[in-house]
Amino acid sequence: MLTFRSPAEVPAGFGPSAVTIGKFDGVHAGHRAVIERLRTVAEERGLEAVVVTFDRHPLSLLKPESCPEALVSTEQKLELLASAGIDATLILTFDRTLSDLSPEAFVTSTIVDALRARAVLVGADFRFGAGGAGDVALLKELGREHGFEVLMVDDVTPDGERRVSSTWIRELLADGQVEAAAALMGSLPTVRGVVVRGQNRGRSMGIPTANLSPELQGYVPADGVYAAWLTTNGRVYPAAVSVGNNPTFEGVPDKQVEAHVLDEDFHLYGETVEIAFVKRVRPMEKFADAHALAAQMQEDVRQIAEVLRSA
């Protein structure tokens, strides 16, 4: 997949293309349905399949107090888009200059001049340009003027009522329902971070853990203990993962992510690892002492091994 960081980076003569535009946070099942339609249209018409997206949620600039936490980082989003089989992604820096572009200027500079679009796929509620002034009717009018067709894409509604959305997925993750979230995402919810030194409490109890730095990529689910897969250096390991402040002890930060790799004992300090959440086996609890916690952790490991064997 080609990646362009601005319209100016798109080489002269690129395209013509079929384009879809959106935040694509999580690249979930709804997004994947759009991408599949995009690829079909592009193949049928001999076009390049291109996603136009943003390096941050627009609300982080326009209304930061209302901006939701991202499901994935920009890096993760690009990797997910690449795995979806598109030809190129144009990832725009959402700054004041971009937010102030009129709908007509946005279409001309990005869709027409840079990408030479012949088809643009959007949903019924698509808005674009400064203040969201542009709508589908205006996009169709601009399409007639500039020679591209606007194609409508239906929502994906797995329950027949609610459409798949990043908001819905965040709600599920905030409740620890990682299995339901994965069903909507089309992939396991994943965080990525660097392993840092902890207090070695897990090792002292016979269950060594890798503590992830608080600067994580991806959405951390609700506090609790999870069955998960840990990936490092291209290898995947079964893991028991704790999320939360571990109230049995003092001084553990909120949303601390700790991973115990099953049947392995190796140091990961300084390594970047990925944690893909499979199932929550229990909520976070406070135990009477370290011995009681250690006994529960052994039971957690047993349950998690069973979960992952059948995953």
Q: Is the pLDDT of residue 49 over 80?
A: yes
User: What does the pLDDT look like over 60-72, one tens digit per residue?
Assistant: 999 999 999 999 9
Residue 171 has pLDDT above 70, yes or no: yes
Instruction: Note the pLDDT of residue 201.
Output: 59
Quick one: pLDDT band at residue 266, thresholds 50, 70, 90? confident
| Every domain range in the chain assigned CATH 3.40.50.620 | 2-152
State the pLDDT confidence band at 202, using cuts at 50, 70 and 90.
Answer: low
Average pLDDT for residues 288-295, to the nearest whole number? Answer: 74
Q: What is the DSSP letter of 198?
A: -
| Distance (Å, whole) CA 139 – CA 125 | 12
- Classified by CATH at the fold level, domain 2-152 comes out as Rossmann fold (3.40.50)
Delimiting residues of CATH 2.40.30.30 domain(s) in the chain: 190-309
Give the count of beta carbons closer than 10 Å to the beta carbon of residue 11: 9
Q: Is 119 helix (H, G, I), strand (E, B) or coil?
A: strand
Give tens-digit pLDDT for 91-106: 999 999 999 999 999 9
What would the two tokens of residue 113 be? 């001049």
- Fold category of 190-309 in CATH: Elongation Factor Tu (Ef-tu); domain 3 (2.40.30)
What average pLDDT does this structure show over 291-301? 83
Map residue 6 onto helix, strand or coil.
Answer: coil
What average pLDDT does the chain have?
92
pLDDT score, position 285: 80
- Please tell me the predicted confidence (pLDDT) of residue 204: 55
Residue 254 clears pLDDT 80, i.e. is over it:
no
Residue labelled with tokens 């840990």: 230
Q: Determine the number of helices (DSSP H) and then strands (DSSP E) in the chain.
A: 10, 12
> What mean pLDDT comes out for the span 2-19?
96
Q: Is the pLDDT of residue 187 over 80?
A: yes
DSSP helix/strand/coil, 49 = strand
In this structure, the number of other CB atoms found within 10 A of the CB of residue 249 comes to 13
pLDDT of 191 reads 98
DSSP E strands in the chain: the ranges are 2-4, 17-21, 48-54, 88-92, 117-122, 149-152, 190-196, 210-212, 224-232, 235-243, 257-261, 272-282
